Amino acid sequence: MTEPLDVLILMSDTGGGHRSVAEAIAEGLAREFPDRYAVTLFDVIARGALFPFNHIPEWYLPFVTFSETLWGLLFRATNNRLMTSCLIQVSTWVAGRALEKYLRERSPALVVSVHPLLNHFPRRALRRIGSRAPFVTIVTDLFDAHRLWFDRAADLCIVATDRAREIARQCGLADARVRVVGHPIRLSFLGDGRTRAEARAACGLDPARRTILLVGGGEGMGALYEIARALAQTRLPIQLVVIAGRNAALQRKLAATTWEIPVRVEGFVTNMPDWMRASDLIITKAGPGTISEALACGLPILLSGFLPGQESGNVTFVETSGVGALRRTPDEIARAVREWLTPGDDTLARWSTRARALARPRAALEIAAQLDALVRAGEVSPPPAGATLPADERLPLEFPDDRKF
Ligand code: UDP
């Protein structure tokens, strides 16, 4: 049996979305091409960036939580050619050397990036070490993606929507190198044929009660506690599931509260499809991963907020696609839920139908097929002779948290 080909997915745990996308692609490759690929997820920032930048994943949540406005200003101020090229220089300086060493060590057959800060130096690093492995970028912002996502040197750029393809075009990417495939989500979202009542029972919920799911991305961001309180005080005949993600303080506070309605509190869950299938409505910030997963579950979306800049376009996407709406304050959210659950109101049913029509639950499988085609094309024209490096340049690097599939 031949050795599986090494595939590296470059990501970083800033939020939960990049890891979810990386895992979805790894699952797609494993399902479509069993034994052909060995996929490693590599958190380039945490494992390879210079100190103190290697701590960015830890700063991310406090920074975006306490300075949303500043984050939005930074997004807008850097979303132009000049500032993007400065960011590329800085990110190359911060993490480029470590990544190059890592690539030398691994000689992967394929490198994929799912993070905008990691899109620009890997292709150049590959060529510098004599590798002709293809480099692919996967853009996860649904609508108004930052220009940092788009690297003209990438062999392939995969985007989720036509609007993102348009931005790629504006950033100078050739149409032939851009594919609109959809946002990759994990294969467990493909559906298991259970009804909502069965899904509720499987989650230990009351099968007969309408169910509202409240989430704030992987980090449990936003005013989740206040929204939960406002919903509980409506005393509607509903049950509420609050997923606090990695926000342990929020989880403790929710668990210590006495509620007027049935409330189920969870920390970071690994079975999000089950919770989504059990629910009639999701209340979430405008994270692209959660939105795409909700579409796959036919779940109407009430957006409770968004990160200015990177998630603003996702709000436009949800509202113009007819799958949900934005309500900013806990009181507005509670009023909207009351209205939409009034007998005879068809808002949620309409959004649910539209969500199913818009969903791309097979995106990870389609991306896997595109990646495989690219690798096979490279196999037809092998790398030039002399690409192997002297043994003394093969410096071993320790990356203990790499995840193998
Ligand atoms: N997620 C999860 N378990 C949790 C909370 C979130 O698996 O307890 C996943 C969720 O299903 C989604 C991702 O984390 O895939 C969040 O991505 P999104 O793009 O919505 O937001 P981000 O966290 O990146 O800001």
- Is residue 222 within 6 Å of ligand 1 at its C-beta? no
Q: Quickly tell me which residue has 């690219």 as its tokens.
A: 374
Phi/psi of residue 72, nearest 5 degrees: -65, -40
For the residues of 205-241, what is the DSSP string, one character each?
A: S-TTSEEEEEE-TTTT-SSHHHHHHHHHHTT-SEEEE
Same domain, 247 and 122: no
Same domain, 243 and 97: no
How many angstroms separate the alpha carbon of residue 217 from the centre of ligand 1? 4
How many angstroms separate the alpha carbon of residue 290 from the centre of ligand 1? 6
Same domain, 86 and 131: yes
- Is residue 184 within 6 Å of ligand 1 at its C-beta? no
Same domain, 168 and 270: no
Same domain, 289 and 395: no
User: Which of 20, 71, 312 is the best mutation target for the ligand 1 pocket, counting ligand atoms within 8 Å of the beta carbon and taking the most?
Assistant: 20
Q: What global pTM score does this model have?
A: 0.90
The number of distinct structural domains making up the chain is 2
* Of 320, 343, 358, the domain-final residue: 358
Same domain, 286 and 393: no
Same domain, 237 and 132: no
Burial class for 261, CB neighbours closer than 10 Å (0-12, 13-18, 19+): middle
Same domain, 142 and 226: no
251: domain range? 191-358
Same domain, 369 and 349: no
Rg over CA atoms, the chain: 22
- Is residue 273 within 6 Å of ligand 1 at its C-beta? no
User: How far is 112 from 122, CA to CA, in rounded Å?
Assistant: 9
**CA angle (184 as vertex; 183, 190 as ends), nearest 5:** 115
Same domain, 270 and 230: yes
Per-residue pLDDT of the chain (405 residues; tens, 9 = 90+): 689 999 999 999 877 789 999 999 999 999 999 999 999 999 988 888 888 888 887 777 777 777 788 888 888 999 999 999 999 999 999 888 899 999 999 999 999 999 998 988 898 899 889 998 999 999 999 988 999 999 988 999 999 999 999 999 999 999 999 999 999 999 999 988 899 999 999 999 999 999 999 999 988 999 999 999 999 999 999 999 999 999 999 999 999 999 999 999 999 999 999 999 999 999 999 999 999 999 999 999 999 999 888 899 999 999 999 999 999 999 999 999 999 999 999 999 999 999 999 999 999 999 999 999 999 988 765 445 444 433 323 223 232 333 332
Residue nearest to atom 5 of ligand 1 (CA): 218
| Cα–Cα separations (whole angstroms), residue 235 to 301, 384, 392 | 21, 70, 69
Same domain, 260 and 148: no
Phi/psi of residue 162, nearest 5 degrees: -65, -35
- Is residue 279 within 6 Å of ligand 1 at its C-beta? no
Provide the CATH number for the domain around residue 146. Answer: 3.40.50.2000
Same domain, 171 and 201: no
